[in-house]
Amino acid sequence: MSTTAVAEEHHGAPSGLKRWLFSTNHKDIGTMYLIFALVMMFTGGALAMLIRAELFMPGLQIMQPDIYNMILTDHALIMIFGAVMPAATGLANWMLPMMLGAPDMALPRLNNLSFWLLPAAAALLLTSMVLPFLPGGGAPVTTGWTLYPPLSVQSGMGMDFTIFAIHLLGASSILGSINIVVTILNMRAPGMTMMKMPMFAWCMLFTALLLIIVAPVLAGGVTMLLFDRHFGTSFFDAAGGGDPVLFQHLFWFFGHPEVYVMLLPAIGVLSMVIPTFSRKPLFGYKALVGGLIFLFSLSLIVWAHHQYTVGMSPLATEYFMIMTIVISIPVGLMILNFLMTMWRGAMTFETPMLYAISIVIMFSFAGVTGVMLAVVPADMEYHDTYFVVAHFHYALLPGALFGLFAGVFYWLPKWTGHMYDEKLGKIFFWWNIIGFNLTFFPQHFVGLAGMPRRIVDYSPQFAEINMLSSIGAFIFGTSHLLFLYIVIKCIRGGEKAGDMPWEGAKAGTTGLEWELPSPPPFHSYTTPPVVR
Amino acid sequence: MTKTLRAGTGLALSLISGAALAEWKFDFPEPAADLTEQITHLHHMTSWIAFWIMVVILAVVGYSIFRFRKSVGYQADQEFHHSWWGRWSWVVVPVIVLGIDLSIAGQASKTFAQIESPIEPDLTLKVIGSQWKWTYEYVDHTVDGKPVRFTSTLLPKEEAEKQGEPWLRSVDKPVVLPVNKNIRILNTATDVLHNWWVPQVAPKKDAIPGYINETKAFIKREGVYRGQCAENCGRGHAFMPIVVKAVSEEAFNQWIEEQKQQLAAAAEAAAKTWSKEELLARGEEVYKKNCMACHQANGMGVPNVFPALKGSKVATGPVEGHIKVVLNGRTGSYGMMPPWRDILNDGEIAAVITYERNAWGNDTGDLVQPADVGAQR
């Protein structure tokens, strides 16, 4: 592959507030997305610390049950919609034009809109958390992020704010996704066929397509909820001819693909990181693309495995069980590709690679507990216990957040022009991973022993494991302060990074981002490079 | 197979955490019924498969890290994907995975078919979840056409400690079931979703307002089995435990006869006219069990969440309005007050309304008799 990229700055970045408020530049918007995600991650993380502090010992220590329930609801909503999804869009914004040889995203003004919807949504969501403390604010949202009626009909005004926040977040992600799809389909450099794209682009393409399909369904579902609450409809009220389970179907038709929306960007990052630090191209590119198509299709038709206990017909339940177990095939293929990329490679262990290796292991673990959960009779015991909590945190921290961390470490030198502090990076990795496993590994067992999720107080028989888990959580939570420090330190200065800071990137990846200088010019490729 | 699993898991755990954890529970509690036994077997099978898949993945990663590292001078094999494994593993591995999948699905389907197969029940227990208590109905055992029915709530902390029962896992009145009988359990709810979950006794099914879900149990061992609500139902979700007492058939028959006699006595009591002292004493009991969780012991409620009864319009206004609210419930800005017509009888409602109208300085002096409530049903 060769390129004739000439990076010229026709004009520099505008200055002042306008640069950010009216920005149509993919790098600036990407930066804003990432900063927003970081702020939300610390907000959601603080809520998680409160949850674990409350659960440190049996008894009610620091909060009332309904406030506890509200905090766990908003922890999930903030982490999913505020931290993971915007961070993935931020990475896509930064990297896609550079990888594909484009000057910018295809729809720059849409890009601006889709970002600026987020702070508004966050404001609504945070308001919903403050309302219960104000006179006349009504009962807090106590449902968990699933917002199941009839409980969600009982909540006060905070639920309406949450619903509108979800509307805005949904609109933002649909617009962002449209932009990603259009960019990938239309903005590739001459000669870069679909099958030559970096795997990260494929993963973002499927992420975006999934969101475009499922986000409107969630918006519809919560709108019906809003109508049930205020306008006398009974979509979800059996007394009025409705069906509470209908909401669960609408929610999980969105909710299950959402898991893959969070997972695939991390898989994309791993498909860049592992080949780079194994100094060998990604193993089985075509098979992985096929696997992604398979995974994409399956993810849309397995939603009701979250509802095995609602009393569906045995036939339907059986169908959802088999389809869910079959997900292990494309996921297994992914793991195979990563393992075989490392096999007979020449590995080095910089921070992104350490994350990648640990993700392969820990995400596989989430995968095997996922198969256990897919088994209907067994799920009739696991359902709504801490086993589930442990499972999905293994899926969504390694499978989403840690993948994003790997991506940030991998591309920070490209973005800033400085190498991050490798020694601190490694300390952060170990601190982070040990804290994480200490928090969530024991939760599998407390779940098997019979502790349900979403309870503010528990029987003393679960005390030891919960205390261990809380200690792990404090270790895990504080580690992120080091992450913040490393990122700020890297932005402010450090060892100069070359255009291709990673030795293995040439052998390992096909992305055009390494052809640009570090840091790259304000407009990425003003003339398209030619890919052969 | 199970043995290998236990050995493997035990080894892994002792490596991780040392012997101090040995006394902790790491697995399902010992199953007591036929279906939960089968589910536990299934769980052990899938755990075992999961364990060995992880061993394989860890072995490959570990070997690669050890062997294929640049620091020991290993050169990347750029031709690896042209090898036989490179060309065919994308077919071989999914086929192996499919094989594992199908064998899991086959076992799972067998057990699932048993869970869903119809039975000739010897006993039907209807379980009704409400915020935040369980009501049990023995539909086969009736007095004057009314089934034996009672409500079971959390045993208060002091009481639990006094009796040596585990806090949050003990109730004022356990549900009693016979062993070696086919028991059909019907789940429903009056307000929001609940889930009656006793891990040792029966696979769980959601309790959904307006719907009836079915699960079943054939309990093999006598004993006390504990569980709790497993579907988020709001503020009191952590505080609605379940205790099942499995007893012999004779003991069960004796117990159900006692319940029937109590039911008959209660029906008689509801028909008579009560004195003020009787009403207030009974009313306080009913209030503590059913109303206090929201409206609080001092009748002040919780600001913005649960309305106060002290000095409230309902509790100091016309008696008819008060009875109506308690019978039918209502929805307001604070959320929802559940209807009590199906949970409390006329005597209990009359007593609790009398109590509410005379406690905490609500000195209306009103006496409400069971007949007044009956008239408004």
Nearest CA distance, B69 vs chain A (angstrom): 4
Residue A136 within a domain: yes
Per-residue pLDDT for B314 more than 50? yes
Is the CB of A238 less than 8 angstroms away from the CB of B199? Answer: no
In this predicted structure, the answer to whether residue B333 has a pLDDT above a threshold of 60 is: no
Looking at chain A, which residue has its C-alpha nearest residue B88?
A: A284
- Say how many domains are in chain A: 1
Q: Does B66 touch chain A (CB under 8 A)?
A: no
Question: How far is Cα B55 from Cα A338, in angstroms, rounded to an integer?
Answer: 16
Tell me the nearest-neighbour CA distance from A115 into chain B, angstroms.
33
| Nearest CB neighbour to B232, from listed A151, A279, A328 | A151
* Residue B331 and residue B291 in one domain: yes
Residues of chain B with Cβ-Cβ distance to A372 below 8 Å are: 43, 46-47, 50
Q: Find the domain containing A400 and state its range.
A: 28-515
B312, B370: one domain: yes
Domain count, chain B: 3
Residue A6 within any structural domain of the chain: no
pLDDT digits (tens, 9 = 90+) for B175-188: 999 999 999 999 99
B331, B219: one domain: no
CATH number of the domain within which B170 lies: 2.60.40.420
Residues B173 and B207 in one domain: yes
- Chain B residues whose CB is inside 8 A of the A450 CB are 28-29, 199, 227
Interface check for B214 against chain A (CB to CB < 8 A): the answer is: yes
If asked whether residues B146 and B191 sit together in one domain, one would say yes
- Contact status, residue A170 vs residue A213, Cβ threshold 8 Å: no
The partner residue sitting opposite B70, judged by closest CB among A347, A453, A455, is A347
Residue B206 DSSP label: E
Probe site for chain A from B204, B226, B242 (most A CB atoms < 10 A): B204
Sequence-separated (6 or more) residues with CB below 8 Å from residue B187: B127, B129, B195, B196, B205, B206, B207, B208, B212, B213, B214, B215
pLDDT score recorded for residue A220: 96
Instruction: Quote the mean pLDDT of chain B.
Output: 87
In a domain, A483, yes or no: yes
Q: Bigger pLDDT: A531 or B36?
A: B36
- The secondary element (H helix, E strand) that includes residue A264 is helix A244-278
pLDDT of residue A7: 43
User: Which of A434-448, A505-519, B105-119, B142-156 shows the lowest per-residue confidence on average (mean pLDDT)?
Assistant: A505-519
The reply to whether B146 and B259 lie within a common domain is yes
For residue A46, is it within any domain?
A: yes
Using the Cβ of B22 and the Cβ atoms of chain A, whether some distance falls under 8 Å is answered with no
ipTM more than 0.85?
A: yes
Q: What is the pLDDT of residue A395?
A: 95
Minimal Cβ distance to B104: which of A375, A383, A453: A375
Distance from the A275 Cα atom to the nearest Cα atom in chain B, whole angstroms: 11
B148 and B106 within one domain:
no
Give pLDDT, residue B325: 87
Of residues B13 and A370, the one with the higher pLDDT is A370
Question: Taking the model in full, what pTM does it have?
Answer: 0.89
Note whether B261 and B288 are same-domain residues.
no
Tokens of A213: 């399909």
B97 touches chain A (CB under 8 A): yes
Measured between alpha carbons, how far is residue A74 from residues A70, A71, B139, B193 in Å?
Answer: 6, 5, 42, 20
DSSP, collapsed to helix, strand or coil, labels residue B188 as strand
A107 belongs to a structural domain:
yes
Residue B202, token pair as written in the block: 């029966």
Say if B109 is an interface residue toward chain A (CB within 8 Å): yes
Q: What is the per-residue pLDDT for B304?
A: 66
Q: Of A66, A237, A278, which is closest to B235 when you measure between CB atoms?
A: A66
Quote the CA–CA distance of A253 and A301 in Å, as a whole number.
8
Kindly report, residue by residue over B189-231, the tens digit of the pLDDT: 998 999 999 999 999 999 999 999 999 999 999 999 999 999 9
CATH code, A288: 1.20.210.10
Last residue of a domain, one of B229, B244, B266: B266
Give the domain range for residue B204: 123-266
Q: Which of A345, A383, A459 sits opposite B169 (nearest CB)?
A: A459
Is B75 part of a structural domain of the chain?
no
CATH number at residue B351: 1.10.760.10
Is residue B91 over pLDDT 70? yes
Contact B98 A329 (CB under 8 A): yes
Do B235 and B357 reside in the same domain of the chain?
Answer: no
B230, B260: one domain: yes
Answer with the one of B215, B242, B266 that is the final residue of a domain.
B266
Query: Predicted confidence band at B17 (pLDDT cuts at 50, 70, 90)?
Result: very low
Is B351 found in the same domain as B305?
Answer: yes
Tens digit of each residue's pLDDT, chain A (532 residues): 344 444 444 566 777 888 899 999 999 999 999 999 999 999 999 999 999 999 999 999 899 898 999 999 999 999 999 999 999 999 999 999 999 999 999 999 999 999 999 999 999 999 999 999 988 888 899 999 999 999 999 888 999 999 999 999 999 999 999 999 999 999 999 999 999 999 999 999 999 999 999 999 999 999 999 999 999 899 999 888 999 999 999 999 999 999 999 999 999 999 999 999 999 999 999 999 999 999 999 999 999 999 999 999 999 999 999 999 999 999 999 999 999 999 999 999 999 999 999 999 999 999 999 999 999 999 999 999 999 999 999 999 999 999 999 999 999 999 999 999 999 999 999 999 999 999 999 999 999 999 999 999 999 889 999 999 999 999 999 999 999 999 999 999 889 998 899 988 888 777 788 989 989 998 888 888 888 7
Same domain, residue pair B356 and B281: yes
Nearest residue to A466 via CA among A144, A66, A53, A70:
A53
Please tell me the predicted confidence (pLDDT) of residue B15.
45
